[in-house]
Amino acid sequence: MSAIHQYLDLYESNRELIDSKSAPLLNALRPKAAEALQTMRLPTRGSEDYELTDLEKMLAPDFGVNIARVPLPVDPARTFRCDVPHMSTTLFMLVNDKCAETDTTRRGLPDGVLAGSLRDIAASHPDVLAPYFGHIAPLSNPVVALNSLLAQDGFVLYVPRGVRIEKTIQLVDILSHEAPLMAVRRLLIIMEADSAATLLVCDHTQNAGVQLFNLQTVEVFAGAGARLDIYDLEESSTATSRLSAMYIKQEQNSNVLIDSITLYNGSTRNEYHCKLDGRGAHLRLLGMGIEDDTRHLDTYSRIEHNVPDCTTDELFKYVVDDEATGAFTGRIYVAKGASGTEAYQSNRNLVGSDTARMHSKPQLEIYNDDVKCSHGTAIGQLDPMQVFYMRTRGLSEAKARLLLKQAFMADVLDGIREESLRDRLRHLVERRFAGDTTPCTSCGAEGCKF
């Protein structure tokens, strides 16, 4: 029997409870999601576009879902307290799948901006969210359908027309429970015309060793001329599973940067579905995965150029060691009539051991002349001549390899538009490669990487 049924059963037998703890906008989507799931078969390993991720297997364990919304005791400070210090952000937190108010909530945000709990804002401003919620991510995707079936809360950022938020908005997600738990998170980012914002999303896990699951759907709307940067950072444990489907719809001349950074994880599948629906829209999709031990990271991206004169710049880099596996599937689709498209896709990977595996599938699907497109992939090892050169200057082999791995990720980091964030993330990446997981001496907080 498919793993879907346990979630459908959970929903069928608790509909009222689930609905009562959420908002009508979210509740309205559930029956449609249930209907879609009834006839759906979950992709298994080897299914088209699911080269290395078996959804059936991932979803099979009996994870608890906190549909009754009982408060789960979490000490947020343990995880995030100084993760990105010296960087001033407007901070929000999702504890499992509940948006926790923090001191800085809404403080300093310009008038008209809505930011915070999806449940609360869906209840207070349904008209603002309704045109977008559930309209960008389709229920034909099992991750979206399951998420839509069970999501009761999450995070919203709504930036009205012409409003430009200077300060980075940071969303810290914490997975934490003593027993296996699935957090069903829903994010909705609405950027009206000519607005601007930077969003840093940090996924953390507490209770390393406990099986925790992040089932996430993110809907992003970038209106005409809007500028949006999303940094999607995962620092979780090897026992963590993450299924994330992000859908982005871009209007005319919008400029979106998505940077997917997986520093520590367990088993992760990240999907990025981008529709360039307005002329002159620009998308930069960057990503890095640092995989060792038995970690698994699978990235799927589909970018649709539906109208003329849009540009895409896509780069994913992986370093895969030990017995880790990495997978990248990227497709750029250029529709008939999308003249003047410029789309570049690149996937570069370092494989550091005989038992590590990397799978790469770059794809272009072009139905129009007059386009500039390229794709490329490479899987290789560190250049022995570079290592030797560094050793002749006195660097140990380990140090040489460390510097080269850090350098390998440099162009992904260079794509980060905000300087202080770039410095911080570079530091995190350096520490990651150095294998330095000791807490910083200044606070000693668990999970703190500084």
Partner 1 sequence: MLKVKDLHARINGKEILKGINLEVRPGEVHAIMGPNGSGKSTLSMVLAGNPAYEVTGGEAEFYGKDLLAMAPEVRSHEGLFLGFQYPVEIPGVSMVNFMRAAVNARREYLGQPPMSATDFLKLMREKRAVVELDTKLASRSVNEGFSGGEKKRNEIFQMAVLEPRLSILDETDSGLDIDALRIVAEGVNKLKTDRNATIVITHYQRLLDYIKPDFVHILYKGRIVETGGPELALELEEKGYDWIKAREDEKEKHDPDKKQL
Residue entry with tokens 């399951």: 146
- Minimum Å gap between C-beta 290 and partner 1 is 15
- How far is Cα 275 from Cα 253, in angstroms, rounded to an integer? 13
- Minimum Å gap between C-beta 252 and partner 1 is 36
| Pick 337 or 380: Cβ nearer partner 1 | 380
| Pick 366 or 382: Cβ nearer partner 1 | 382
CB atoms within 10 A of CB 170: 24
| Pick 3 or 390: Cβ nearer partner 1 | 390
Contact 168, 421 (CB under 8 A): yes
- How far is Cα 120 from Cα 118, in angstroms, rounded to an integer? 6
Amino acid code (one letter) for 320: V
Q: Is 134 exposed, middle or buried (0-12, 13-18, 19+ CB in 10 A)?
A: buried
- Minimum Å gap between C-beta 178 and partner 1 is 42
Contact 267, 296 (CB under 8 A): yes
| Pick 39 or 392: Cβ nearer partner 1 | 392
Helix (H) or strand (E) holding 91: strand 89-95
| Pick 275 or 401: Cβ nearer partner 1 | 401
Tokens of 333: 């689709």
- Minimum Å gap between C-beta 316 and partner 1 is 16
Angle, CA of 83, 88 and 90, to the nearest 5°: 95
Tokens of 403: 């510097």
- Minimum Å gap between C-beta 393 and partner 1 is 4
- How far is Cα 312 from Cα 280, in angstroms, rounded to an integer? 10
CA-nearest of 230, 284, 240, 229 to 263 is 240
| Pick 342 or 411: Cβ nearer partner 1 | 411
| Pick 322 or 383: Cβ nearer partner 1 | 383
- Minimum Å gap between C-beta 427 and partner 1 is 13
- How far is Cα 256 from Cα 204, in angstroms, rounded to an integer? 24
Tokens of 341: 């498209």
Site string for partner 1, 411-450 (x = CB under 8 A): x---------------------------------------
Helix (H) or strand (E) holding 384: helix 384-392
Q: At what angle do helices 142-150 and 4-20 cross, to 10 degrees?
A: 30
Q: How many residues bind partner 1 (CB under 8 A)?
A: 23
SS (H, E, C) 185-201: EEEEEEECCCCEEEEEE
Site residues (CB under 8 A) for partner 1, limited to 175-204: none
- Minimum Å gap between C-beta 85 and partner 1 is 21
Residue entry with tokens 């500028």: 227
| Pick 9 or 397: Cβ nearer partner 1 | 397
- Minimum Å gap between C-beta 307 and partner 1 is 36
| Pick 399 or 427: Cβ nearer partner 1 | 399
- Minimum Å gap between C-beta 12 and partner 1 is 54
406: phi > 0 → left, psi -120 to 50 → alpha, else beta; which? alpha
- How far is Cα 69 from Cα 120, in angstroms, rounded to an integer? 14
| Pick 3 or 395: Cβ nearer partner 1 | 395
CA-nearest of 111, 201, 112 to 155 is 201
| Pick 73 or 384: Cβ nearer partner 1 | 384
Q: At what angle do helices 384-392 and 397-408 cross, to 10 degrees?
A: 130
- How far is Cα 250 from Cα 374, in angstroms, rounded to an integer? 21
Q: Binding partner 1 by CB under 8 A: which of 410, 427, 435, 443? A: 410
- Minimum Å gap between C-beta 348 and partner 1 is 12
Site residues (CB under 8 A) for partner 1, limited to 349-408: 383-386, 388-397, 399, 403-404, 406-408
- Minimum Å gap between C-beta 380 and partner 1 is 14
| Pick 372 or 399: Cβ nearer partner 1 | 399
- Minimum Å gap between C-beta 271 and partner 1 is 28
Point out which residues bind partner 1 (CB under 8 A).
383-386, 388-397, 399, 403-404, 406-411
